[in-house]
Amino acid sequence: MDNQTAILEVDRVAKRFGGLVAVDSVSFDVRPGEILGIIGPNGAGKTTLFGLISGFIAPSSGDVRFDGVSIVGTPPHLLVRRGLVRSFQIVQTFADMTTLDVVATAALVRRPMNEAIDFAAHILARVGLSGKEQLTPKQLSLQDKKLLEVAKCVATEPRLILLDEVMAGLTLAETDAPLAVVRDLNAQGTTIVMIEHVMPVIMRAAHRMIVLNFGAKIAEGTPQEMLSNRAVVEAYFGDHVDA
């Protein structure tokens, strides 16, 4: 492998949907222990990229390596067992399950049934959902649904977690709690790749960032470097500047 220290290597990955190139030969590494942020305008290919990494979408070309081993063609549930899990941008609801059961089901990936419930309660507390164990996901606010989505991922005890806009729709003040959860997870040793749309949020969270536009990676660097990158400013703030 190119980089001995990378936990994840995305190597010239592309995805075409008919004539549309949703992800266009994107390459980057994720280093163990980091928080890597991914930003880009609507339709830039961010969620598709997560689908390609997590086994939900087969790449048209290119390779994805986890721990130095190609994972192309490996189904999502096997990747979760190996320690790679993603959240979903559109929160899935489970009609009749309580939040505790939803998280306990995820915990079964690594824990026996007799431990899963207690462990799920612990995870719900850790993301700030204690007291809401017996609610159904439908009864949760958008913010809490997003925290539940994070809890489901955390319950699988991943080494690498892909978070897709878990703070979307929240005010900057409302992102304090989920941001603390992300930082806490990272401090416990979980490597994190997070997509966020809101620049100030990602700037506060990420150690390093990549920027996508029309499926292609147009920049990579520290949050500070992104702010002074002309291509990023044009892609990301272009329509605000024009308006």
Ligand X SMILES: Nc1ncnc2c1ncn2[C@@H]1O[C@H](COP(=O)(O)OP(=O)(O)OP(=O)(O)O)[C@@H](O)[C@H]1O
Residue 66: C-alpha distances to residues 31, 69, 82 (Å): 11, 5, 9
Region binding ligand X by CB under 6 A among candidate stretches 2-10, 15-23, 71-79, 92-100: 15-23
Kindly tell me which residue out of 8, 26, 39, 47 binds Mg ion, with binding defined by CB under 5 A.
47
43 near ligand X, judged by CB under 6 A = yes
Measured from the CB atom, is 47 or 156 closer to Mg ion? 47
In angstroms, the CA 3 to CA 182 distance is 26
> Exposed (0-12), middle (13-18) or buried (19+): which is 67, by Cβ within 10 Å?
middle
User: How far apart are CB 76 and ligand X at their closest, in Å?
Assistant: 16
227 vs 12, 195, 213, CA distance in Å? Answer: 25, 17, 15
- Angle in degrees, CA 167, 213, 234, rounded to 5: 95
Number of residues that bind Mg ion (CB under 5 A): 3
Applying CB under 6 A, the span of 43-51, 63-71, 154-162, 219-227 interacting with ligand X comes to: 43-51
- Least separation, in Å, of the C-beta of 91 and ligand X? 13
Among residues 60, 61, 53, 50, which one has the least CA distance to residue 9? 53
Residue in 207, 232, 170, 193 with CA at minimum distance from that of residue 47: 193
| Smallest separation, CB 138 to Mg ion (Å) | 23
3-state secondary structure of 111: coil
Rg (C-alpha) for the chain, rounded Å, is: 18
Cβ nearer to ligand X, comparing 20 with 125? 20
The nearest distance, CB 157 to ligand X, in angstroms, is 26
Which stretch in 14-22, 123-131, 219-227, 233-241 sits in contact with ligand X by CB under 6 A? 14-22
Query: With binding defined as CB under 6 A, does residue 42 bind ligand X?
Result: yes
Q: Which of residues 64-93 bind Mg ion (CB under 5 A)?
A: 89
Say if strands 208-213 and 216-221 run parallel, antiparallel, or are unpaired: antiparallel
Binding mask 89-128 for Mg ion (x = CB under 5 A): x---------------------------------------
Size of interface with ligand X, in residues (CB under 6 A): 13
How many whole angstroms separate alpha carbon 144 and alpha carbon 136? 11
Footprint of Mg ion (CB under 5 A): 46-47, 89
Footprint of ligand X (CB under 6 A): 17, 20, 22, 40, 42-48, 89, 197
